[in-house]
Structure 1
Amino acid sequence: MTDTTNQRPVSTTGDEAATLPTTYTPADVEGELYERWVERGYFTADAKSDKPPFTIVIPPPNVTGSLHLGHAFEHTLIDALVRRKRMQGYEALWQPGMDHAGIATQNVVERELAKEGKSRHDLGREAFVERVWKWKAESGGQISGQMRRLGDGVDWSRERFTMDEGLSQAVQTIFKKLYDDELIYRAERIINWCPRCLTAISDIEVEYQDDDGELVSIRYGEGDESIVVATTRAETMLGDTAVAVHPEDERYKHLVGTEIVLPLTGRRIPVVADAHVDPDFGTGAVKVTPAHDPNDFEIGQRHNLPAIAVMDEHAVITAHGPFLGLDRLEARSAIVAALRAEGRIVAEKRPYVHSVGHCSRCKTTIEPRLSMQWWVKVGPLAKAAGDAVRDGRVKIHPQEMEKRYFDWVDNLHDWCISRQLWWGHRIPVWYGPNGEVVCVGPDEQPPTGEGWHQDTDVLDTWFSSGLWPFSTLGWPERTESLAKFYPNSVLVTGYDILFFWVARMMMFGLYAMDGTPPFHTIALHGMVRDQNGKKMSKSFGNVVNPLDWMDKYGSDALRFTLARGANPGVDVPIGEDWVQAARNFANKIWNATRFALMNGATVEGPLPAPEELTASDRWILSRLNSTVAEVDGLYEDYQFSKLSEALYHFAWDEVFDWYVELSKTTLAKGGPQADAARRVLGEVLDVTLRLLHPIVPFVTETLWTTLTGAESVVIADWPEDSGYRDAEAEAEIATLQRVVTEVRRFRTDQGLKPGQKVPARLDLAATVLVPHEDAIRSLTRLTAPEEGFAATASLPVAGATVALDLSGTIDVAAERKRLAKDLAAAEKEKAQTTAKLGNEAFLAKAPDDVVAKIRARQEAAEADIARITAQLAALPQG
C-alpha cells in the first residue's frame, strides 16, 4: 500500500526501544550523525553517475560572516529540497562555497592593522593581500562549521571560494570575452562613493535611512531674472553648472536660454529646459550639479554641461575659495551661513527628514561622485535575461515576482564593476607608456617593459559571484561536472537579491553558456523577521543568533520552525516560543516511536491484505498515502509552509493522537489483528519518518535506523503514493473521532477531571461503531455501567447515544450556578450586539469592518447560549 521495495528492514521487537533514551537530547546525536553522513559520502555528488542530476548552488555567504537566521532559513529550504531529491534517486549536488566579499574583508583586516598602528599603505599592496589571505586561512569561513551544525547536506569535497585559482581564471576569461565583444568599457560616470572605504560601491551595498537634515531655498540671480532652488546639500552648489526647469513651465519660459550668476562664485550658469524636472515639486526649478548627482549628470549629458567636481575622495572641498579644505558637512554649514549673510536664503527647514544613502559596511554617508570606472554594457545581456523568463526557459516562483524581475532587467543601467580596493580580482587591463590599453586573457602574457602597468582597481564581488553556477563546475573548461550539473535545477534565494545577484547570474550564464540559462527555476523566499513582523536589526535589539536556539532546542526544532513559516516570496516572522513548540513536536515523534518499538512495531514482511486489517488500520494507511501525495505536490510547488503543516498535523494529530491510541486497544486484545497492527504501525512510522527527514534530519535518522535496522534514512527511498485509498474506513474513523471529541468536550464542559472515570451506556447499534466500543471507552474514560446505573445525562452524537451517570462526580448545584452566570453574560452580550445591529443610524455611519466584528460577537453569543443551555439540560435533576 506504500512503496518499500528498496528498504533493508529487519524485524524489530520491544528490545529495540531500549536502545533509545527515554528522552531525546539533540546535542547527544546531532554532531556525531552529521560527521558520519559526511564520512560515508552521502552528500558527495558523482559526475559519472547515470542518475538524473539535481543541482543547487548555495548563495555564497561572505567569508567574514557567521550564520544568522536568514542563512539558517534559506539553508533549511535548500537542504530539504536536496535531501528529498537524493532519496528520490537523483544525483544531487548542493554546491557550497564562500564569497571573498571585497570591501567587508578588506575592512576587517584594515581594522586589525589599525590596532597595530598601521594602514594597508604601510604594508603595500602585495603584502596587504598576503595578510588578507592569512586572515582568511585563520579566521575566515566560520560559517562552514555552523552550516554543519544546521545539518546542511552540501558536497564539502567541492567547496569553492570566489578567489580560488579556478574561479579567478573564470573571471579573467569572461572579462576578456566581454571586453572583446565591446560589452565592457571604461568611462567617467556618477557612482556611489564611500569616503571612508574610498571605493565605489554597488547599489546593494547602500543602505537608505531617514536622516535629520536641512532644506534650504536659495535665490540664484537678481530681481525678475532670479530663480529660487531648494537643496539638502548646499555644499554641492559650488559645482552647479546650470539651473533646470520644465520646458512647459510658463513661470520660467522667459529665462530659458539666459544665464544667471551662481552665488558665492561669480560664475554665470545657463537656465535650461529639461523634461526630467517636476514643475509641481517645490519651486519647479532645480540646481544642476553633474559631478555630484546621478540625475544631474543625465541632465548635463543632454545639455552638454560641464561637470565640476568640488570634493576629493575623502569628501573634502577642493573648490578654491573660503571653503577649500572643509569637510562636506562643515562646508554645508559655512556655505549656508555665507548665503544667509548675502540675503540669498529664502527659506530654511530644520529638521528636514529625508532618505539618505549610507555605506552598509561602515555607515558613512554615500557621496554620489563623478569617477572614471569600468562598466558592463548590460543592454543585450539584460534583454537575454528577460527573454529567458518570458519564453518559459526559466520559471520564477511565485509567479507574481516576475513583474519585479522585468521591471528591473528591462530598465537596467550599465553596471559599474570596478572597485578601488586591493582585495579582489584585479582588473586584467594593462596601460602602456603611450596610452596603449591591453586586456589580457588567462592564457596570455601581460605586456612588459618600461611604463607598462596594470589597472589598480579590482572587480565588484557581484562580478565573480555572478559566475557561480558554472565557474564552480570548472568553466571555462568543459568538465564532466559542468556537463552533468549545469544548468542548476533551481535557485533558492531571497527576493531582496533578485536584482543584484540573480539578474547577474542570468546575464552571465546565458552569455557564457551559449544561451543556456543557469537554472530552470528561481524560487524566491522572503526575509526572516521577529515575531511581531519587525525587521531584525542590532539597533532594534531583536537580532537572534540561531546557534543559541539550536543549543537550547536542537537543530531540528529550528529547521522545522523556519520551514513551517516559509510561504513563497513572503516574509517570515519567528519567535522563540515557535521553536519551543517545534522541539515539542520532535519529542512527540520520539515518544511515539519508542511506544511503537516497545510494542513490537515492525517493518518486516509485506503489509497484510485489507480484509485482515481493522478499520483504523485501513484508515491510517489511506491517510498515509494521501499525505504522501499531498506533500509531493507541495514540494514541487515550493510550498514549504503548507507541506510542513501537512506533515505536522498528519504526524501529531492522526498518527500519534489517534492511530497510536486506537492501536493500544487492538494490541491489548492480542491475536492476528494485533500482529497486523504492529506491521501497520511500523509501516506508518517508517514512511512518516522518511517524509519528515528532509526537514528534521537528525531525530528522524536516529529513530528510522532504530526502527528499520537499515543503514541511513539519508539514502533511503522517498515514499511513493501506492494509490491505496479507503473512503469507507476514513468515514468510519471520522464518525468515531466525532463521538470521542464530543464526549471529551462534554466532560470538559461538566468540569470532569481528565482521568476521572465515568460510568456510561453506549448505544451504537445504529452506527458503524459497534466494533469500536472498547476504543471509545478507552479514549473517553467511560466505564461500563454496573448495577444501580442511572443515566443523568444523555449525549446524542453521530447517530449514537452516550448516556452518562454523573451522580457523585460533580457538585450539581455549584455547576448549575456557574453555568447560569455564564448564560446571563452571554444573553447580555447578545442583547447589546442585537441593539447595535438594529440601530439604523449606527449602521449608516459605522465602517464595514466594525459592523462585521459586532455581527461576529452576536453569533458567538448565540452559540454560547445554545451550548450553555444544552449543558444545563444535561445536568442531573434535583
Structure 2
Amino acid sequence: MDKSFEPGQIESKWYAQWESNGWFKPSGTGEPYAILLPPPNVTGTLHMGHAFQHTIMDTLIRYHRMRGYDTLWQLGTDHAGIATEMVVTRLLGAEGKTRNELGRDAFIERVWEWKQQSGDTIERQMRRMGVSGDWSRTAFTMDAIPSQAVVETFVRLYEQGLIYRGQKLVNWDPVLKTAISDLEVVSEEEDGKLWSIRYPLADGSDSLVVATTRPETMLGDVAVAVHPEDERYAGLIGKTLRLPLTDRLIPIIADDYVEREFGTGCVKITPAHDFNDYAIGQRHNLTPINIFTDDAQINDNAPAKYRGLDRYDARKVVLADLEAAGLLVEEKKHKLQVPRGDRTGQVIEPYLTWQWFVKMDGLASRGLELVESGKVRFVPENWINTYRHWLGNIQDWCISRQLWWGHRIPCWYDEAGNAYVARDEAGAIAQAAAKNGGTAPALQREADVLETWFSSALWAHSTLGWPDETAMAERGFDRYLPTSVLVTGFDIIFFWVARMIMMTDHFTGQVPFRDVYITGLVRDKDGQKMSKSKGNILDPLDLIDGIDLEALVAKRTGGLMQPQMAKKIEQATRKDFSGGIPAFGADALRFTFASLATHGRDIKFDLDRCGGYKNFCNKLWNAARFVLMNCENYAAPAGAAPAAVTEAEKWILSRLNHCLAEVETQFAAYRFDLVSQALYEFTWNEFCDWFLELAKPALNGDDAAAADSTRHTLLFVLEALLRGLHPLIPFITEEIWQNIAPKLGIDAPTVSRQSYPRAADIALDNSAEAEIEWLKAVVSNLRRIRSEMNLAPGKTIPLLFAGGNASDRARSAKFGSQIGFLARVESQRWLEAGESEPAASAAIIGDLKLLIPLAGLIDVDAEKSRLAKEIGRIQAEIGKCNGKLSNESFVANAPAAVVDQERQRLAEFSTTLSGLREQAERLAAL
C-alpha cells in the first residue's frame, strides 16, 4: 500500500472494475431486496440533496447485497417536460431560432438529440459517488415500455371514468403558457399593497368597501361576499352592486368563508382568478369570467379600454380610473404571499382553462387505507400525518400540460369536437367510424402532453415491464414488486409517493414499496436553505475533487443578474473559503452524509465534518499499513478463526461483536447516523487507538504463539471491519481489502460480494472486556497526568499503586508490561501497609489510587510559574466571556449560535481553570 491515502487514485479504478464485472446486477438468488431511484431530471446535475439520498440508497443496497439478498437498485431518469423544453429553447435562442419556427416534430427531434448528448451528466456524476445500481437496466420515462405503460394507464382510467376533460382553475405560468403543479410554485412573502375600493349599490342607496391586493382582477368580479351572520350587512344580502369601471351588476352573497374581523368584512369574488373564490363560485352557482389571455394580458371579456394591456399595466390604469371616479378609498402597504414559477420566476396566475384531470377521491381513499393498515410504512412514522392530511384534502389531479416534450395525451378529436381516447390512432379511427356509421371523419390529435408526475407515478411497475408480459417476465416483475424501500424527500410525499401507491395498487394489486424512508433537507451549516441567490450552494463533486478559490467564486456568482448580489456572494465566498475547497474524496463525503442522516427534518451540512471524515479515512489507511508491516512474513491459516491468546485479542473481538450488533440494529431502523457512529467509534477508538497499541507488546515480545495469534487477530478484525465499513465507504475499503484478504487465505475478486460480518459469528467475552477496560482506565489516567504535568513523551515515570483490592493487584501484575510500555512507566510497585504517600499526582479508579511521585520529575518552581501565568490567562478569558453574557443587548441581539458558542467557551475555560488549580495545589505541597 502507498504511504498516504489518495482517493483520486483509487476511486475511478475500482468503480470501473465493479461495473464492468457486473457486480451491481441482481444475483438471482436469495431473498429479493429492491430500491427505486427517484428519477432525477435529465437536465440536472448532482446537487447535495441527490448526493445525500444516493449515499443512503447505495449504503442500503451494498449492505443487503453483502447479506446475501438478491438486490436490485432500479436506476433511471425523468424526461422533465418543462425543464427540458426550457433548456432546448434557450439553446435554440442562442442560434437565433425559436421553437415555433422549428415546429413541433423538429423541436422534439432536437430535444432527443440534446438528451443523447448531454442528458446523462447526472449519471456520470452518480458513478463518482459510488452508486452501485444496475446500469444495464436503467430506464428513461420516455423509453418504449414506460411510454406504453403511460398510454395503457390513461386509456384504462378514461374507460373507468376516472379521467375526464374539464374547465377548471389551475396554476398557470404566463411565460411558459402551461399549467404547472403546486410543487413548481414557490410562494414567498413580498412587499405589496392593499387597496380599498368602493362598490356602489345598483340603486345608489349605499355602497360596500372591499379590499384587494389585485385591483386589476375586479374586472372579472361576479359577486361580493359577506358573512351570513354579520349584522352590518344582513339587510344587503341578495341586493346588487354596480361593478366599478364596467356596465355589469353583481350580487351580494353570504358565505361562511368570509372573515368578519378582516378588513371591512366584504370580499370581492373573482372565481376565474382565485382558488378560494372559485370554490365560493361553485357553491353559489356563479359563472366565472376569465379576463386574462394565456400570457396574462387583458382579454375581450373586459371593457375595451383595458384590452391588450399587461396585467400590471392594467392595474395602473384601473387604479387611476377608480381614483378619478372617487371610488379608491385607501392604499396602504401590505405583506403578501406571492406565488412564482420556480423556473421562470414569474407570478403565477390562477387561470380558468380546459385541462385533463384524474378523479382522486376513490383512489385517495384506497391510498390512505394502504398506509393506515401498515402495508406501506413511513420512516420516521410521523410523516404519515402529512400523507394523511394531503389525501384527506385532495382535489382532482390536473395531468395535462401545454408543452411539446412529453407523453402526448392519447386522444383524437373530430371537427365537431368529439373526443376519442385510444391506445393508438387506429383505435381512435375505429371509434370514430363506429360513431359515424362506419365512416371515420378526419381526426386531430390532442396537442397537450401529460405532466411528468403522471409517468413517474407508474415508476414502480413500469420499470419492471408492465404492461408487457414478456418484459415483465424478463425484468422480474413478480420477484421485485413490491420493492423494499423508497428513499425520498418530504416535499414530494403527495406529488410522487402517494400517487405511486395509488397507481401501483390500482393496476397491479400490489403496493410499490413496503417502507418509505423520508430524508431531511440538506441545508448549510447555519441551517439556511442552499440556493444560488444565497451563494451557499455546495457542489458534491467539488467536495470530492476539490476546487480552487477563483473557480469557486466564478461558479457561485456566474449567471447572477444583479452585480450587487454577485459582489456580496463573492466577498462571503472569499472569506469562508480563502483556500478553496480541498479534495475530500467520495468516501469522506459519503461518511459525512451517513453521519448526518438522523430522523430530523433538516440536515445542517458543515464542511469541517468532511475534513474530519477524511482524517478517519487516513486513520483507517494508516492502521492497515501498520497491520501489513507487522504481518509482512505472516499468513494466517486459511478459513481459521484466530486463537485469541491474549486478553487484548479477546477484548477486541468482543468489542467487534458489540459494534456489529449495534450496526445491525440501526440499519433495520434506518438510523444511518448511529450506524456510522458505531463503526467510527470502534475503528478509531477501539481498534486504532487501543488495540494497535495493545498489540505492540505481544508483537515485540518473546512469546511466539502470542505474537502470531495477535497478527491473526489484527488481520481478522481489520478484514471484518473493512466489510462492515464497505457499504458506507466503498472505495477505500476495497483498496485495503485487496491487500488484507490474501493474508487470510481469501481468494475473491471484490469485497463488495463478500458476506457482511455478523455479531453472532464472533464470540463475546465479558471477562476480557472487564480486564482490558481496567487496563485502559489505568493507562488513560496516567497519560492524562503526564499531559497535565507537561512531561515530554519520551520521559519515563515511576508509578505507585495504593488501596485497591485483590483484583486490582492481580491485574497490575498481569498487565505490568503493557502499563510500562503504553504509559512510559519505568517502575511499578504497591505502597506497603503503613507507608505514607509521597507528594504526587494522583488518579482514582474505584478503590485503586494511582500515584506519580513529583520529586525529580519536573522543575517545580518553573512549573509553578508557568501554571500561575496560565491560570491568569484563563481567568482573563473567563472575564471576557462573563462580560459578554452579562450584557443584555448581546444576549438579545446576537445570533443564537453565537451566544451558545460563548456559553460553551465559558464552560470549557471553567473546566480548564479547575484542572490548573488542582495541579497548582499539588505542586504547592512540594
What is the TM-score when the length of structure 2 is the normalising length? Answer: 0.86
Query: Deviations for 1:664-720, whole angstroms, at most 9, x for unmatched residues?
Result: 111111411111111111111111111110010000001112100332111000111
> Does 1:105 pair with 2:99?
no
Instruction: Indicate if the aligned counterparts of 1:590 and 1:703 stay in contact, CA closer than 8 A.
Output: yes
| Aligned equivalents of 1:549, 1:437: Cα separation in 2 | 54
Deviations 1:747-806 (A, max 9, x none): 2222234444434456686252322222223322333379xxx96524243244444354
Q: Which residue of 2 aligns with 1:16?
A: none
Whether the 8 Å CA contact 2:839–2:855 is kept in 1: the answer is yes
Decide whether the 8 Å contact of 2:227 with 2:254 is kept in 1.
yes
Q: Does 1:28 align with 2:9?
A: yes
Greater mean deviation of Cα atoms: 479-488 or 539-548:
479-488
Residue of structure 2 in register with 1:114 after alignment: 93
Counterpart Cα distance in 2 of 1:626 and 1:732: 16
Deviations 1:134-157 (A, max 9, x none): 111111121010011110001011
**Paired residue secondary structure (1:175):** helix
The answer to whether the aligner puts 1:622 opposite 2:638 as a matched pair is: no
Q: Structure 2: which amino acid aligns with 1:411?
A: N
Equivalent residue number for residue 124 of structure 1: 103
The answer as to 2:265 corresponding to 1:232 is no
Q: Which residue of 2 aligns with 1:54?
A: 33
**Range 736-745 or range 81-90, more displaced:** 736-745
Task: State the partner residue of 1:422.
Answer: 404
How does 1:402-801 map onto structure 2 within 5 Å?
Answer: 402-441=384-423, 445-447=427-429, 450-478=441-469, 479-480=472-473, 481-514=476-509, 516-551=510-545, 552-600=583-631, 604-605=637-638, 613-670=645-702, 671-709=704-742, 710-722=748-760, 724-761=763-800, 766=809, 768-784=811-827, 792-798=839-845, 799-801=847-849
Q: Distance in 2 between matches of 1:126 and 1:389?
A: 43
Q: How far apart in 2 are the matches of 1:38 and 1:429?
A: 42
Task: From the superposition, tell whether residues 637 and 178 of structure 1 become closer, same or farther in structure 2 (CA, over 3 Å).
Answer: same
Distance 2:370 2:100 in 1: 46
**Structure 2 counterparts to residues 818-837 of structure 1, below 5 A:** 818-820=866-868
* 1:814 Cα deviation from its structure 2 partner: 3.6
Change (3 A) 1:784 1:606: farther
- Contact kept, 8 Å, 2:725 with 2:733, in 1: the verdict is yes
The aligned residue for residue 579 of structure 2 is none
Q: How far off is 1:483 after superposition? A: 1.1
Q: Distance in 1 between matches of 2:217 and 2:25?
A: 57
The alignment's TM-score, normalised by the length of structure 1, stands at: 0.91
- Post-superposition shift, 1:451? 3.2
Alignment-derived partner of residue 845 in structure 1: none
What letter matches 2:332 in structure 1?
K
Classify the secondary structure of the residue corresponding to 1:166.
helix
Partner in structure 1 of residue 305 of structure 2:
322
1:96 aligns with 2:75: yes
Structure 2 SS opposite 1:56? strand
Letter in 1 for 2:484: S
Code of the residue aligned with 2:615 in structure 1: it is N
Letter in 1 for 2:305: P
Q: Deviations over 1:235-272 (max 9, x none)?
A: 11100000011111111111111101111113110011
> Structure 2 unaligned runs (5+)?
433-439, 546-582, 743-747, 830-836, 883-899
Q: What amino acid is aligned across from residue 416 of structure 1 in structure 2? A: C
- Matched residue SS, 2:253: strand
CA displacement 1:622-658 (0-9 Å, x = unmatched): 1101111110110011001111111111110111001
For 2:276, the equivalent position in structure 1 comes to 295
Mark the CA change 1:321 to 1:623 in structure 2 (over 3 Å): closer, same or farther. Answer: same
Q: Contact between 1:690 and 1:713, CA under 8 Å: does it hold in 2?
A: yes
Does residue 348 of structure 2 align to residue 366 of structure 1?
yes
Find the aligned partners of 1:411 and 1:445 in 2 and give their Cα distance: 37
Query: For each residue in 1:555-603, what CA deviation from the matched residue of structure 2 results, as whole angstroms up to 9, or x when unmatched?
Result: 0011000111011243111122111111111111111011011111765
Pairing 1:356-395 to 2, within 5 Å after superposition: 356-395=338-377
Q: Judging changes above 3 Å, is the alpha-carbon distance between structure 1 residues 556 and 858 closer, same or farther for their aligned structure 2 residues?
A: closer
Aligned amino acid, residue 647 of structure 1? L
Deviation, 1:491, is 0.5
Alpha-carbon displacement from aligned partner over 1:434-485 (angstroms, at most 9, x marks no partner): 3321111259633285431111100010000110011011001232211111
Aligned: 1:214 with 2:214: no
Aligned partners of 1:739 and 1:797 also within 8 Å = no
1:267 paired with 2:248, answer: yes
- How many residue pairs align between the two structures? 836
CA change 1:857–1:56 in 2 (3 A) is closer
Structure 1 Cα separation of the partners of residues 542 and 877 of structure 2? 47
Give me the whole-angstrom Cα distance separating, in 2, the residues matched to 1:757 and 1:102.
73
CA pair 143-863 structure 1, distance change in 2 beyond 3 A: closer
1:603–1:708 contact (8 Å) kept in structure 2: no
Following the alignment from structure 1 to structure 2, what is the Cα–Cα distance between the partners of residues 853 and 44? 49
In 2, are the aligned partners of 1:793 and 1:876 still within 8 Å (CA)?
Answer: no
The 1:455–1:645 alpha-carbon spacing in structure 2 relative to 1, beyond 3 Å, is same
Partner of 2:578: none
**Which residue of structure 2 lines up, in the alignment, with residue 9 of structure 1?**
none
1:334 Cα offset (Å): 1.7
Alpha-carbon separation, structure 2, partners of 1:608 and 1:438: 72
Quick one: distance in 2 between partners of 1:831 and 1:192? 59
Instruction: Determine helix, strand or coil for the equivalent of 2:382.
Output: helix
Cα distance, 1:470–1:403 mapped onto 2, change above 3 Å:
same
Letter in 2 for 1:741: S
In 2, distance between residues paired with 1:128 and 1:742? Answer: 75
Distance 1:144 1:862 in 2: 52
Which stretch of structure 1 is more off in the superposition, 642-651 or 600-609? Answer: 600-609
| Alignment check: 8 A CA contact 2:642 2:713 kept | no
Deviation of residue 412 (structure 1)?
1.1
Partner of 1:342: 325
Cα distance in 2 for residues equivalent to 1:858 and 1:214? 48
Higher relative contact order (CA 8 A, sep 6+): 1
What is the CA distance between 1:822 and its match in structure 2? 6.5
Q: For residues 914 and 902 of structure 2, what CA distance do their matches in structure 1 show? A: 19
Query: 1:15: which partner in 2?
Result: none
What is the distance in 2 between the residues matched to 1:172 and 1:831? Answer: 74
Q: 1:203-254 CA deviation, whole Å, 9 max, x = no partner?
A: 1111112222211111111576311111111111100000011111111111
Cα distance, 1:300–1:186 mapped onto 2, change above 3 Å: same
Q: What amino acid maps onto 1:771 in structure 2?
A: K
Which amino acid is 2:820 matched to?
Answer: R
Mapped partners of 2:901, 2:406: distance in 1: 60
Conserved in 2, the CA contact under 8 Å of 1:607 and 1:680?
no
Matched residue SS, 1:653: helix
Moved more, 272-281 or 765-774: 765-774
State the secondary structure of the residue aligned to 1:326. coil
Which runs of no fewer than 5 residues in structure 1 stay unpaired?
1-19, 835-851
